[in-house]
Amino acid sequence: MKRTLLAFAAALASIALVTAQQERPVPKDSSRVSIPGCARNRTFIVGRAPEGEPVRSDIEPGRRFKMNGAKPVLGDIKAHERTLIEVTGLVRQADINPPRGIGIGSRVRIGGGQPQSPIGSGPATSPAYAEAMIDVESWRPLPGECPQR
């Protein structure tokens, strides 16, 4: 009796471990991306991947993301602020490829580019300046240093 109970408990524990290690399902309006770059506080700035490292995203260097995630993961990233890292997480597809042109209604877009902002408006009011959010799932260090500011 004890052996079967012990075997059942071990099987249950292994099933729980396997399901905990699986990735979260990706929502329909999001994509899982892995992007190289540098972190500063809770902002992630996309950089170029070092030579010999595979590039798994088409997000242009210089793009900024606000990081959201578990405190231990964000704490580890904060401890590696001066080194190049790769962050893997979920980003809304609308934030990866922002729509071009001027929206009229909910389905019609006219033009190929964003309209010019009036003189005197700062970058904080520009819709192109808004930082997208990334829900950080994991990260890994890459060889190299972040450029100094």
Each residue's pLDDT tens digit, 17-32: 444 445 678 888 888 9
Residues counted in the chain: 149
- The more confident residue out of 55 and 91 is 91
β-strand pairing of 43-46 with 83-92: unpaired
Q: Give the model's pLDDT for residue 95.
A: 83
With a CB cutoff of 8 Å and minimum separation 6, the contacts of 24 are 90, 137
Q: What is the dihedral of CA 100, 103, 109, 113, to 10 degrees?
A: -30
Confidence (pTM)? 0.66
Residues 115 and 89: their CA atoms lie apart, in Å, by: 31
Decide if 96 contacts 33 (C-beta within 8 A). Answer: yes
CA distances from 27 to 15, 125, 127, 133, 146 (A): 24, 29, 24, 15, 32
Could you tell me the domains of the chain?
27-98+123-149 (2.40.50)
Q: Give the model's pLDDT for residue 89.
A: 93
Task: Please state, as a whole number, how many other Cβ atoms lie within 10 Å of the Cβ of residue 40.
Answer: 14
Q: What amino acid occupies position 82? A: R
